[in-house]
Chains A and B, each alone.
Chain A
Amino acid sequence: MATASKTPPQTGLFARSRREVGPRAASLAGVPAGKTVRIGSVEGESGVAFRLLELGFTPGQEVTPIAAAPFGGPVAVALRGTIVALRSAEAACIRV
């Protein structure tokens, strides 16, 4: 959506299933495929966090993990009309 205010809030903001409970529960890395969540903040090492912001992972944005590469490889995340692949360590910088 063009602005954050336009999005209805029922998309699972902070909603957690039992699977997600734990230290990574509130990061994008713990979100199951197909579930749309809203970015809360981007943390972690400043270079990585800055690059994530520049790619469009800004707080308030809706993102949907769509697939993960096998053996713990990168996750593909739908964002702003496109798909971006991130390592799970980088997805963990994105708090949702």
Chain B
Amino acid sequence: MTDCHEPGGRAPALGRPAGNLLIALAGPPNSGKTTLYNALTGSRFRTVNYPGATVEYSVGDALPQLGMAARVLDSPGLTSLNAHSPDEAVTVKALFHHPRLGTPDIVVVVADASQLSRHLYLVQQVLASGFRVVLAVTMVDLLREKGFDLDATRLASELACPVVPIDPRSGTGLSDLAARIVAVAEITPPAVPHLDTPTAPGEVRTLYDRAEAIEHAVLVPLGVATRGPLHAPDHRTLRLDTWLLHPLWGLLVFVLTMAGIFTAIFWAAAPAMDAIDSLFGMAVGAVHALLPGSWLGDFLADGIVAGIGSVAVFLPQIVILFLAMGFMEDSGYLARGAMLMDRPLARIGLNGRSFVPMLSGFACAIPAIMASRTIPNRRERLLTILVLPLMNCSARLPVFGLLLAFITPHDKPWLGGIGLTLIYLGSLVIGAAAATVASRFIYRQTEPSSFMLELPAYRRPQLRVVLRATFSRAFNYLEKATVPIVCVATALWALTYFPMGKTVGEDEAARMAGSYAAMLGHWLDPVMQPLGLDWRIGIALIAAFAAREVFVSALALVLRVSADGDALQGALLQAMQGAARADGTPLFTVSTALGLVVYFIVAMQCVTTFVVARKESGSTALAVGQLVAFNIVAYALAAITVHTVRALGIA
């Protein structure tokens, strides 16, 4: 290794061990760059073929069997070194000097052989900028189907850089690539790269003319009947698109896909949810049996185990959502969804590129807000960030699951599915309304709006990749949710248990009435009155600001639910049915439960979302506005709902 800029690793996690190469992967969207990254590092990081999905960098060490000591850096896809959106700007900057890792020793540019002229446009820019480059060419099999072969030697001499044909899916060419990287690092002296990009239309045309000439020289006709002209896309993709982009059938498939995903979340998940529910119920019983009659036993069982259980129950629903998104990403359909949604989204001031962040928003607003970096237009990006917390994120599923289970009769479980569909539609309608209002009155259009998006060739989704991505996301969710739940559950349990503790024996009502929580709660009572609720729900709602799903475990604590071997949710539902307000009227009725549903659809209750929205938008006003406006509107709509339902004669 000729250059090790950093003697010793500064930060063990991200620093570069001396003697290790830093390899940056660069390439246009859908070039197979992230698949190569996974193959090189064996990383658990997901591969995606939607432009810009690699919002965060992934860094990993090259697998030892490749025989190179290297750290590999993956980054979002680039069409050109001329940045067009914030994520591209960050990528280009990091290519020249990564804030933590420094300047890469080698840039591996990944190019798709079946659309070589487009991808050579970027390759030429990276070469002109003075990087030490190794070109990895993917999709040679697709090119052969078109009736051409790649003359890699000729391509290497035309570009004056090493060229390695690879197939990251099967692992072909990877060791060759590693050998070339090591050779270049040893032979070619390092230079300081400088940005060299075309700035005038004429310069773009010159680069493309050169790219076409190279393409013409290196593609060798195989002499068999070709499937069509070289400029034609993959024939299977074209055939599928005649259906999937058909004005009628395409729209129908899209609507059915979306409807199917959201129905499956409620229906297909039910058996697994019941199993997890009973499991945690049994765990609560076991802890009580191990530590009978002690406050520690009460705390561990009712505070911690039940708290985690109340969230774990909704894991099946979250897994289904992530699985569906993973398949859409990996197959190439996601970009079509963005294209189909561009027109409706543009009508409310957003962009087709807002589609993927919005869909991710149904899982979690935080990665969704980060994914909105791919929207080039600043106003459309801000509007997208503004409405993302209104998307029905997975943290709300536990809350809606509980409230819907309370409202729907036992013999009609399908009503819950319809209810959830209505909640999803409601969140979309409110999101659209918010975007419309904000685009009229707050964020005016200043720069021209545009939508240009590559629709990648369809690929058979790799089950292994999708499953791995789903499990890592689901695990991430559990991990992220557990800490606030344990913290809040501990605090809430203490507030509702003390100062009475065991002094009142097993009299839950007396212990609760004299607790610290009850003392604090009297301040909350007037605020909760218009919603037909009392201070106990107020405490659970405040707890939900740590994370929305905490509401469920908080509710179990303020209602003093102890499962003791039964299913958790069953015990909680029973407690909800039995709970009464100070004046003896029932606390939970259809009207108050519906009011809470409406509150949770609109309210912005996630502290992390606030922090990320402020950072990504660069606008404190936007984040504070979200927090204040969404909560006030949520409260008002909830009160209106409760009183409207009551006026209709339903308790």
Complex Cα spacing A54 to B247, Å: 29
Complexed CA–CA distance, A83 and B382 (Å) = 28
A61 touches B343 (CB 8 A): no
Least distance between A86 CB and chain B CB atoms (Å): 6
| B117–A76 CB distance below 8 A | no
Could you give, for residues 66-96 of chain A, a 1 whenever the CB lies within 8 Å of some chain B CB and a 0 otherwise? 1111111110101111111111001000000
Q: How far apart are the CA atoms of A82 and B49 in the complex, in Å? A: 14
CB of B118 to closest CB in A, whole Å: 5
Q: B447 CB to closest chain A CB, in angstroms?
A: 8
Q: Which residues of B contact A50 (CB under 8 A)?
A: 82, 201, 204
CA distance A84 to B336 in the complex (A): 10
Q: Which of B211-219, B407-415, B433-441, B476-484 contacts A (4 or more CB under 8 A)?
A: B211-219
Instruction: Decide: B452 and A67 in contact? CB cutoff 8 A.
Output: no
Given A47-B448, A81-B232, A69 and B339 contact (CB-CB distance below 8 Å): yes
Contact in complex: B213, A54 (CB < 8 Å): no
Q: Is the CB of A74 within 8 A of B451?
A: yes
Known: A56-B117, A56-B208. A70 touches B452 (CB 8 A): no
The CA of A36 and the CA of B147, in the complex, are separated in Å by 20
Per the CB 8 Å criterion, the residue count for chain A at the interface is 44
CB neighbours of B80 from chain A (8 A): 54
Across the interface, which residues of B come within 8 angstroms of A52, CB to CB?
A: 452
Q: How far is the CA of A66 from the CA of B233 in the complex (A)?
A: 10
The answer on a CB contact under 8 Å between B452 and A84 is yes
Looking across the interface, which residue of chain A has its beta carbon closest to that of B116? Answer: A81
Interface size on B, residues (CB 8 A): 58
Chain B contacts with A in 296-323, Cβ cutoff 8 A: none
A79 to B231, CA, bound (A): 6
Is B230's CB within 8 Å of the partner chain A?
A: yes
**Does B457 sit at the interface, judged by CB under 8 A?**
yes
| A80:B118 contact, CB within 8 angstroms | yes
Q: A76–B238 Cα gap in the complex (Å)?
A: 11
- Bound state CA distance, A15 and B245, in angstroms? 26
**Closest B residue to A34 using CB positions:** B242
CA A85 to CA B233, docked complex, whole Å: 13
**B452 and A85 within 8 A (CB):** yes
* B173 CB–A CB distance under 8 Å: no
Q: CB-CB contacts of B313-351 with A at 8 A, as 1s and 0s?
A: 000000000000000000000010011101110100000
In the complex the two chains form, what is the Cα distance from A62 to B208 in whole Å?
14
A73 to B116, CA, bound (A): 28
Q: Give the docked Cα–Cα distance between A55 and B155 (Å).
A: 22
* Contact (A86, B451) CB under 8 Å given A49-B201, A78-B238: yes
Cβ–Cβ contact B114 & A81, under 8 A: yes
B566 contacts partner chain A, Cβ-Cβ < 8 Å: no
Q: Is the CB of B451 within 8 A of A87?
A: yes
Smallest CB gap from A68: residue in B: B247
Asked whether A19 is an interface residue with its Cβ less than 8 Å from the other chain, the reply is no
Contact: B229 with A87, CB < 8 Å?
A: no
Identify the 7 closest CB pairs spanning chains A and B, nearest first: A2-B216, A81-B115, A73-B343, A67-B245, A83-B455, A85-B339, A53-B204
Q: Which A residues are closer than 8 A to B by beta carbons?
A: 1-4, 6, 42, 45, 47-56, 58-59, 61-64, 66-74, 76, 78-87, 90
Q: A2-B230, A81-B118 are in contact. List 16 more A-B contacts (CB 8 A).
A: A47-B448, A48-B448, A48-B450, A51-B84, A54-B121, A54-B198, A62-B231, A66-B238, A66-B242, A69-B245, A69-B339, A81-B117, A83-B237, A84-B454, A85-B338, A85-B455
